[in-house]
């Protein structure tokens, strides 16, 4: 079921998410279904459970809508339950990021170029996988949400000052995204 996306200023976006109990399969499957439906409706490339008001460690990433820019993302969809970054490269890169919880704001963020993540997939099978390029970017962005970090926390101080008014307006509800959203 499609859920409202919590916007910048919502407390749930600043909390460290709790691990999911893998024995609660039905609840996890329902959460994953809600994440998928909500992401499809919002037309994004990733969504974390805290963004729909649930402070649990689950994310989905879907790069298939970006194939025209990054052809290597063809078929790139992941469900990650209780993900943990086990390795990150020393090499870093900068990309412009945006976020469904911070509509209309984009800024360059420096992150590791490659990462390895251990997680459970939607079949509850443990996976360890290495990501690079924009796939690594999407995964890192969503995993940051699980630790209460939004991408604007990671931008250069001068850029943060430049976007501060937009962030204030979002936190006051002065934004109208094309998807259901709320602040709480």
Query: Per residue in 94-134, pLDDT tens?
Result: 999 999 999 999 999 999 999 999 999 999 999 999 999 99
Of 27, 91, 126, 142, the catalytic one is: 142
Mean pLDDT, to the nearest integer, of 137-158? 97
Residues 6+ apart with CB under 8 A from 181: 4, 5, 6, 7, 103, 175
Q: Are 82 and 111 in contact (CB under 8 A)?
A: no
Looking at residue 114, its pLDDT comes to 98
Looking at residue 125, its pLDDT comes to 97
Looking at residue 42, its pLDDT comes to 95
Looking at residue 79, its pLDDT comes to 98
| 118: DSSP letter | E
pLDDT digit string (tens) for 27-67? 999 999 999 999 999 999 999 999 999 999 999 999 999 99
Looking at residue 142, its pLDDT comes to 98
Active site residue 142: yes
Looking at residue 153, its pLDDT comes to 97
**Does an H or E element contain 110, and which?**
strand 102-112
Mean pLDDT of the chain: 96
d(CA 149, CA 100): 14
DSSP string, 75-95: T-EEEEEEEEEEEE-S-EEEE
Q: What percent of the chain has pLDDT over 90?
A: 97
């Amino acid at each position: 079921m499609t859920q409202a996306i919590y916007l910048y200023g919502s407390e749930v976006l600043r909390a460290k998410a709790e691990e999911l109990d893998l024995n609660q399969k039905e609840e996890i499957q329902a959460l994953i279904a809600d994440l998928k439906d909500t992401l499809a409706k919002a037309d994004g490339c990733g969504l974390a459970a805290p963004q729909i008001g649930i402070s649990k460690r689950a994310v989905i990433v879907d790069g298939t809508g970006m194939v025209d820019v990054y052809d290597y993302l063809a078929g790139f969809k992941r469900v990650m339950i209780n993900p943990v970054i086990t390795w990150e490269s020393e090499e870093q890169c900068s990309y412009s990021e945006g976020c469904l919880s911070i509509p209309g704001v984009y800024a360059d963020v420096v992150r590791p170029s490659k990462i390895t993540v251990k997680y459970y997939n939607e079949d509850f099978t443990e996976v360890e996988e290495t990501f690079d390029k924009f796939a690594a970017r999407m995964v890192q962005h969503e995993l940051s949400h699980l630790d209460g970090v939004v991408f604007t926390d990671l931008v250069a101080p001068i850029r943060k000052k430049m976007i501060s008014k937009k962030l204030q307006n979002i936190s006051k509800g002065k934004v109208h995204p094309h998807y259901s959203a709320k602040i709480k």
